Amino acid sequence: MKPYDYLIVGSGLFGATFAHLAAKEGKRCLVIDKRPQLGGNIYCEEQHGINVHKYGAHIFHTSNKQVWDFVNALVPFNRYTNCPVAEYEGKRYNLPFNMNTFYQMWGVTTPAEAQAKIEEQKREVAEAMAAQGITEPRNLEEQALLLIGRDIYEKLIKSYTEKQWGRACTELPAFIIRRLPVRFVYDNNYFNDAYQGIPIGGYNKLTEALLEGIECRTEEDFFARREYWESQAEKIVFTGKIDEFYDYRYGQLEYRTVRFEEETIDTPNYQGCAVVNYTEKQVPYTRVIEHKHFEDFGEAIYAKPKTVISREYSTEWAPGSEPFYPVNDERNSALYAQYKALADKETNVIFGGRLAEYKYYDMAPVIEQVLKHFC
Ligand code: UDP
């Protein structure tokens, strides 16, 4: 008999949740992570009393009550509501696309006026597409134009998306933009979900609660001692890159990475909200995160004299950098399908999370996925 039931490779949300639920069932679990700390990309580092999201901003949102109750039983969540702002050529626009945005863009004040404006813009696009025999949007550009029209596409979507993905909007899949709501009410809440928030005290509290009582070893690279690790457990839960698991035998999947330029500023409130997206081409970064706004509200903002911001620069992934976003274009989707076919044949390996499933996952669906293994 091997010493563990499960070796969990990677202590991010998938791995930590899996370990938590398996341990609850009495399974012997060992979690390994190559980083010096646990939590994967939800890890935060405290600076000046502020939890800095070291691997990119994470905002938990879901409509799944089971998932919401599950995380809140581990650590209560605060009332943070994501209301990002877009900046284009010095002007600010509310996101997601709603009556505030339409007012800022065109001066329209009623839903009927805004709808008429968008319909007029959409009609132009739909007619041009129909003339070419296109019935379904074939890429992100066509999808965005059909969803919201040319003005918003050109000012708030095109360059932001091209900076983020490093590819033309005509080469990106339509589904990426379907994440963004369009609404005819004055409502700047970015998500349509019933629940959202940040763990009180930061995401490390969630990681700690998930992994409480579970054997974890940091700075342990699965691939450095693969045979040894495989000999340790009956089953492996793998949350790393699926192409690496198979030694890149069909080729490398592509990812986008983000470089974070952090700065501490001697002011309590730098930009007035957590997220400002820079949607023009000339600004090299995609967005600026001001971390304290995730957890400090009202007077509490001014109780801390400094603030920490991160400018995000999106670049192509190369070995040595962090693979953050899978690039679900045609080439990569086809390549992933080949690896997935191998994974489906495995009886002792479970693949999960953004990297192992090569999927643009949010946090709540990751937990949903893990819960399915245990029901
Ligand atoms: N997007 C955009 N303009 C914005 C914000 C988002 O065009 O100001 C598009 C862009 O294509 C992006 C997608 O919407 O890739 C999803 O954005 P989201 O903010 O949900 O991405 P994440 O927070 O996961 O990076």
146-194 confidence digits (pLDDT tens): 999 999 999 999 999 999 999 999 999 888 887 778 899 999 999 999 9
Whether the CB-CB separation of 331 and 358 falls below 8 Å is answered with no
Q: Beta strand 4-9 with 29-32: parallel, antiparallel or unpaired?
A: parallel
pLDDT of residue 323: 94
CA 186 → CA 113, 116, 273, 321, distances in Å?
14, 17, 18, 40
The reply to whether omega before 284 is within 30° of 0 (cis) is no
Atom of ligand 1 nearest to the CA of 57: 23
pLDDT in tens, the chain (375 residues): 999 999 999 999 999 999 999 999 999 999 999 999 999 999 999 999 999 999 999 999 999 999 999 999 999 999 999 999 999 999 999 999 999 999 999 999 999 999 999 999 999 888 988 999 988 899 999 999 999 999 999 999 999 999 999 999 999 988 888 777 889 999 999 999 999 999 999 999 999 999 999 999 999 999 999 999 999 999 999 999 999 999 999 999 999 999 999 999 999 999 999 999 999 999 999 999 999 999 999 999 999 999 999 999 999 899 889 999 998 888 999 999 999 999 999 999 999 999 999 999 999 999 999 999 998
Q: How far is the CA of 24 from the centre of ligand 1 (A)?
A: 37
Nearest alpha carbon to residue 45 among 204, 223, 219? 204
Q: How far is the CA of 296 from the centre of ligand 1 (A)?
A: 24
Instruction: Report the alpha-carbon angle 302-306-309, nearest 5.
Output: 110
Question: Which residue segments constitute the domains of the chain, with CATH numbers given?
Answer: 4-79+194-249+328-373 (3.40.50.720), 85-177 (no CATH)
Count of helices and strands (H, E) across the chain = 14, 16
Give the position of tokens 């563990």. Answer: 4
Gap between the Cα atoms of 327 and 359, Å rounded: 9
Q: Is 269 exposed, middle or buried (0-12, 13-18, 19+ CB in 10 A)?
A: middle
Alpha helices in the chain (DSSP H): 13-24, 65-74, 99-106, 111-131, 140-148, 150-152, 158-165, 175-178, 203-211, 226-232, 242-245, 300-303, 330-345, 363-373
Nearest alpha carbon to residue 53 among 305, 301, 310? 310
Residue 161 has φ and ψ, to the nearest 5°, of: -65, -40
Nearest alpha carbon to residue 39 among 82, 81, 78, 75? 75
- What residues does ligand 1 touch, defined as CB less than 6 Å away? 86, 95, 156-157, 160-161, 164, 176-177, 179-180, 277, 279
287 is catalytic: yes
Q: How far is the CA of 342 from the centre of ligand 1 (A)?
A: 32
362 is catalytic: yes
Gap between the Cα atoms of 122 and 222, Å rounded: 51
Give the position of tokens 């700065």. Answer: 263
- The tokens for 8 are 């969990």
Gap between the Cα atoms of 288 and 190, Å rounded: 16
19 three-state secondary structure: helix
Instruction: Report the alpha-carbon angle 60-355-232, nearest 5.
Output: 110
β-pair partners for 326: 255
Atom of ligand 1 nearest to the CA of 279: 8
Whether the CB-CB separation of 86 and 280 falls below 8 Å is answered with no
Gap between the Cα atoms of 84 and 338, Å rounded: 38
58-113 confidence digits (pLDDT tens): 999 999 999 999 999 999 999 999 999 999 999 999 999 999 999 999 999 999 99
**Residue 95: HSE in the Cβ half-sphere, 13 Å Cα cutoff:** 26
Gap between the Cα atoms of 370 and 14, Å rounded: 7
